[in-house]
Structures are given as structure tokens and as C-alpha cells.
Amino acid sequence: MLVGIDASRALRTPRTGTENYSLYLIRALVALDTPYMWRLYADRRPPDGLIEGKRVEWRVMPWPRLWTHMRLAWEVTHRPPDVLFVPAHVTPVMRRCPTVVTVHDLGYLYHGTAHRPLDRAYLRASTEWNARVARAVLADSLATRNDLVAHTGCDPAKIVVAYPAGAEGLAPVTDATRLAQVQARYGTGERYWLYLGTLQPRKNLESLIEAFARLSLEGTWPADVRLVLAGKPGWYHERIAACAAASGMSERIVFPGYVDPDDLAALLSGAVGFVLPSWYEGFGLPVQEAMACGTPVICSNVSSLPEVAGDAALFFGPGDTEALAEAMAQLWKEPALREELARRGPAQAARFTWERCAETVLSVLECVGKKG
């Protein structure tokens, strides 16, 4: 069987959630012990060693614009694989092979004002297109599966949940020199609360800023404790910067930007706690990554996050800033609670691996590819 994969997103830099998903999942798929050939389609030449395997071949096809619906579509129409897998984008309009596609989330339904109108329209149209034309649909979580059924009319029989995982090889960092180096590089100070992800309204960072500012003014923690909002700016990120500036705590709120993957484990390990206050998450990879590093987690209790965090986090309703502040204060004041969550975290994170995800995806590709 010849499996074609749209690998274009795996080549994007800097990588965020969907790009990492593509890269890590493709690596895990080609590493499985199978007799299949893997044809990876890309719009640019991949870096040496990015994805390697005994039965991997690249089809590098540069194209100025509309690569998916023109160049990739032409390729899979004229030289079709037995099955085409699209892990992080949209299915080509034209193709002559069955497709399997991953739908990561339907966040645009739940917090529409966090998206620009054109982006929201594109997300809705591309998600509904994927759900309609794909032979099988992969969902990152039960929450996403349920959303697909409820809001796109997708046949539940063709949806399979394949839980992803976070960055590869994450583990607690205890080396004091390494921790200090990363803290100096990102300006965190020695004690800090951490958020990691794209800076956009859907992440509900205004509530986190408000809770941090309130507790700081109340003297819950010393004046050297900082709030670190790490990640690249997304749409409407200006709102978040404006909120920080208006909080009265701007000198204690740090925006270090994109985090180098080599620094991720140390940045997470050094935090007092990791906070993800999102209104919606299709999976919530940073929660899994924080738990893998033994960092206590506070996250909202909506969408997929209870699936991911299990009993290894404190939860709050994302519309309740007071509850978020109470959770942060509790975690700060109770060392035993921090230790317990740090103990539970790695075990919960270990439930999600790229190998398990790849095995689930492979079973779907086999079923679709062999049916033709």
C-alpha cells in the first residue's frame, strides 16, 4: 500500500501546535514496522534528517499559491496514492484517492469574537469540507468528536479519536545551571507562573492577567514573582498586551515570545505552576507537556481539557476569574498540593504518546486504503 501524506505543515517554522502535530505524527508513522510506502508531499525542500525512514519518499512540489488545491490536487489526481492523509490542513478539492483528515478543533464555534471574520468563515468552511469529503476523520479528543457530530453533521461512524502527545522527550529538568540559563534567556526571574501557547483571545489571557494582578496587589506572593506569557502573537494579540499594560503589573508580566523547543522542558520545569485558562481547546498540548515536566497545572474545565489533565490538575470555569485566582492562591500556599500534582502529572502525561497515536492512525489508513 502506498500512503500519501500532506507534509507541508511539518516544514513550517516556527512550529506551533498543528505543525508539531504533523511532524511528530509523521515521524511516528514512518517508524512503525509496516510494509507500506510513505510518499510525503511538500511545497519546499525539507531540512536534512527532519523525517527519515526506510520506505519514505519525498515529492517536493514548489508552487506560488493555492498549493493544496492546485499543485497537490494535480499530483493526487494524476498519480494517486492508495490513501491520502491530511494531518493539519484541508483536503484538496480534486483528488482521485480516498482521504483521511485530522480535525483538531471547532473553537471558532465557541468564542467567535476571538477570530477575525474572514478567518472564522475559512475555518468553518474548511472544517465542514473536510468532514464531508473525507472517508475517515480523526479527532484529537472526544470533545472534538462530539462537536463534529453536533455541528457538521459528520457521520459518527467515520470519526476516530486519536489522542496526540506533546513535544518529544520532555521530562523534569532539575539541573540548577540549566534552569538558570533558560530563566535568564527568557527574562522570567526565578519564580514565575507560566502560560505557553499562541497569544490570542481564545486563550482567555485577560482573565489570567486579572487574577495575577489581583493576587499580586493583595500580597499573596512576593514582588519578585512574575507572570510569563510565552508564545508567538496571534490574531488580536494587541488586546492582551493592552490588558497587561492596564493591569498595573506590566513590569511583572513578561512576553518572551516564541520558545525554542530545546528550552521548553527547562522553562516548564522552573515554573511555580502552568496555567491554561482557554475558552476552548481541541486537545491542549501544553497541558500534557507541562505535566510531563512535573509542573503543577491549573486549567479551565471545558472542551477537551478534563480528558487531557485527568486528576493531575486544578480546574476552574473559564468565565470565573475569581475561581482562577483562588486556584492560583491555593497552589501557591500549599506546597503539599504542588508536590502531589507534580507527582501525578508525568503519569497522566504518559497516557499520551506519538506511538499510540500513530498506531491508531495507521489502523484507519489501512482500513481506508485497502477498501479503495
CATH number at 26 reads 3.40.50.2000
Q: Record the pTM.
A: 0.92
Query: Is residue 263 domain-shared with residue 200, that is, in the same domain?
Result: yes
The mean pLDDT of 206-232, rounded to a whole number, is 97
Query: In this structure, is residue 171 part of a structural domain?
Result: no
Per-residue DSSP letters for 34-94?
Answer: -S-EEEEEESSPPPTTSS--TTEEEEE---SS-IIIIIIHHHHHHS--SEEEESSS---SS
**Residue 218 located in a structural domain:** yes
The residue-averaged pLDDT of 238-267 equals 95
**Does 119 score more than 80 pLDDT?**
no
Asked if residue 47 and residue 106 are part of one domain, the reply reads yes
Same domain, yes or no, for 181 and 144? Answer: no
C-alpha cell at 125: 468552511
Q: Are residues 231 and 146 in the same domain?
A: no
Cα maximum dimension of the chain: 67
Helix, strand, or coil (residue 134): coil
Q: CA 73, 141, 38 angle in degrees (round to 5)?
A: 35
Q: What is the dihedral of CA 366, 98, 127, 65, to 10 degrees?
A: 120
Whether 146 and 195 map to the same domain: the answer is: no
Same domain, yes or no: 192 and 261:
yes
The per-residue pLDDT of the chain, averaged, comes to: 94
Q: Is residue 26 part of a domain?
A: yes
Q: Is the pLDDT of residue 73 over 90?
A: yes
Same domain (yes/no): 23, 140: yes
In a domain, 160, yes or no: yes
Residue 289 placed within a domain: yes
Residues 219 and 323 in one domain: yes
Residues 106 and 182 in one domain: no
Whether 330 is covered by a domain: the verdict is yes
* Domain count of the fold of the chain: 2
The per-residue pLDDT for 115 is 67
**Stretch 191-217: mean pLDDT, rounded?**
96
Interatomic CA distance for residues 165 and 308, integer angstroms? 10
Q: Is residue 234 included in any domain, yes or no?
A: yes
Query: Do 211 and 344 have their domain in common?
Result: yes
C-alpha grid cell, residue 93: 478539492
CB 99 within 8 A of CB 133: yes
pLDDT tens for 128-168 read: 888 899 999 999 999 999 999 999 989 999 999 999 999 98
Tens digits of per-residue pLDDT, 282-304? 999 999 999 999 999 999 999 99
Q: Do 125 and 216 fall into the same domain?
A: no
Helix H segments across 46-189?
Answer: 73-78, 117-133, 142-152, 176-186
| Domain assignment of residue 170, yes or no | no
Expressed as residue numbers, the domain containing 338 is: 176-349
| 157 and 204 within one domain | no
